[in-house]
Structures are given as structure tokens and as C-alpha cells.
Amino acid sequence: MGKHLFISYSHQQGDWVWNDLVPCLKAGGAEAHIDVERFKAGHDLTAQMDAEQDACDLSLLVLSPDYFASKNCQHEMQRAMASDHFVVVVRVDCAVPDTLKTKLYVDLRDDKKADKWDLLLQACDADLGATVPDWLYARDEIVRHLQRNESVNMIVPKTPGYSRPKWRELITHIQKDRLTDLAVINLEDGATSTRQGLVKEMLKAAGSTLVVPNEPDDLITLSEALTGLAKPVRMTLMHFDILADRVRRTPSFNVDLYAAWRDLMTEKRKLVLLIHSHAPFMQLLPMGHPLSSITDLKTVELHGRP
């Protein structure tokens, strides 16, 4: 478990802190204490600041000219220096006092530099299993495609000698902070081990409480339920490699299921999938499989680090 971190920053740098810094820290295993999530209206601001800061192992001071101009930020900085448990993060050009250079000093004015992020995450006992720029790039590409209602294959290769990227945490972050309508279906879950169970989970993800009939009417129910919706349903299929294996060994996971998916994805435009797999989507399908004709599936790769 990573450290508890108090994030001290100016809201002028809020977008970067909320969208990039905090998600990476959380996904890496740290516990980020930040005002927009922790502070409550109607309570004394300074008291809340002090209580949250005291509850943490480390203060992250995100420096900028706006930071030094803020009375509240200065209060948090002085308390961090008094405790002697802090890390300095420079996000915008500013004059850093020598008194702040006594601890770890991370220059993230260019946040595409993986080695600088490494210094910060190591200090916070956080690890993404991938470089921060790669993890954020994968996040942004997936969100961009899904917002356009383009299905995506997120490939997370299993490479000997390489770490495992925090892909689950990436999906959780996207669902919680970017696309709150993104449903997640875990194909390792026993509830999806049968075709009827999988269709039930897909209907549930679409907000439907319809009873799933026996085959082949289950696919009719799924198609009618999704077609009747005003907008496409976005779903994540975690561990698609398992489902591809079921094509070969389970009769009910036959061509009809995947033909129905293809129709919903390409013809009716009512189903958008984020497909997680370790091997490329097309390599998992047998020759002539209905889904192999989906040529506009976008690919995003997330690699571990050696």
C-alpha cells in the first residue's frame, strides 16, 4: 500500500492535478488526500486543511507562481516544512526557495519525461507498472475513441521480464472520472461463464431488467433491448482472451452470439466495446469469425516496463 499524500496546490493548476497527478498516484497504490474530494462545505477551511495534512505521511507541494500567491497554499507549505515530510513538485516556472530544496525536488514542467515521474512515484511508494506518460497516453486515447463511439481493443501484452501495467486501475479511473456510463463486465466472473449469463450481464450493463430467455431467444432480447435505447451503450469486456477460448470449446458461444454483437456494433450502432486482451483481438478469433470483419476497431497498447 502506498503512502497517504496531502496534495497542496493552487487551483490554477487544478486541471493537471485532478486529471493527471492524482489519477496516477491513486492507480499506483497511493492514497491522495485532495480538497475537492475531502473538504466539506460549512466547516472551517483551515481546520479541515490541517486535519487532512496531519493525517498524511507526506505533503506534495505543487509549486507555481499562483501557489506562492495563495495564503492557504503558504499555510500548507509552512506546516509541511515544519513536519519535514514533503516533496516538491514544480509544475510551472517559479523561483523555488532554498528551504524547499532540502527534500526531493521533482521538475514536472515537462510532464512527458518518464524519469521525473519515476522519482515522484517512488517517493510516494506508488507504481503503475508502466511509465506515467505511456499510462496517461493510453487513458487519453481510449477515452477519445469511446467518446466518438469507436470500439477499442486495449492490448496489455504479457512480456517475460516486464512488469504488469495497472490496466484494471486504468479502466476504473476511466469509468469513475471520465466516462461514468461505461459498464464493466469481467469475463473471469462465473456469472459470465454461460451465454445466458453473459447476455444477462450485458442487459444489466444497459440498464435493462429483462428476463433472459433460453437460446436462441436470448439474442433477440439483447438486440431489441439495445436497439430501443436512445444512444449507444459503452461496455468493457475484461479478459477477452477467455471468451475467445470459449468459442473453441463451448457450443453455446457460437457464431450467432458474435454475429449479434457485430450487428449491434456496425449496423445498428448501439454497442461500443472496450475489449481488454493480452493478445491482439484479431489473433484471438478463428478464420471467418463474424467479429473478424470489424475493420474499424481501434487499437491501444499498454506495455509494462523492463
The tens digit of pLDDT for each residue in 144-160 reads 999 999 999 999 999 99
Closest CA to 20 of 121, 95, 99: 121
What is the b/e burial string over 260-271, where b = at least 16 CB atoms within 10 angstroms of the residue's CB? bbbbbbbeeebb
Please tell me the predicted confidence (pLDDT) of residue 43.
72
Instruction: Assign 243 a pLDDT band (cuts: 50, 70, 90).
Output: confident
Q: What is the CA angle 206-211-216, rounded to 5?
A: 95
Residue 295 has pLDDT above 80, yes or no: no
* CATH 3.40.50.300, the chain: domain bounds: 132-301
User: Which residues, at least 6 apart from 228, have a Cβ–Cβ distance to it below 8 Å?
Assistant: none
- Residue ranges of the alpha helices (H) in the chain? 14-16, 22-27, 35-38, 45-54, 65-68, 71-83, 114-123, 132-147, 167-173, 195-205, 217-227, 240-249, 255-262
pTM score:
0.93
pLDDT at 180: 96
Q: What is the pLDDT of residue 293?
A: 76
Architecture of domain 132-301: 3-Layer(aba) Sandwich (3.40)
What confidence score (pLDDT) does residue 248 get?
73
| CATH H-level superfamily of 4-123 | Toll/interleukin-1 receptor homology (TIR) domain (3.40.50.10140)
pLDDT of residue 1: 66
CATH 3.40.50.10140 placement within the chain? 4-123
The percentage of the chain sitting over the pLDDT mark of 70, rounded to a whole number, equals 99
Please check the confidence at residue 20 and state whether its pLDDT lies above 90.
yes
Burial class, 96, CB count within 10 angstroms (exposed 0-12 / middle 13-18 / buried 19+)? middle
Q: Mean pLDDT lowest for which of 146-160, 183-197, 212-226, 282-296? A: 282-296
Q: What is the pLDDT of residues 29-88, one digit of tens each?
A: 999 999 887 777 767 789 999 999 999 999 999 999 999 999 999 999 999 999 999 999
Report pLDDT for 291.
Answer: 79
Question: In the predicted model, what is the mean pLDDT of residues 112-125?
Answer: 97
CA 176/CA 135 separation, integer angstroms: 16
Whether residue 138 is predicted with pLDDT greater than 80 in this model: the reply is yes
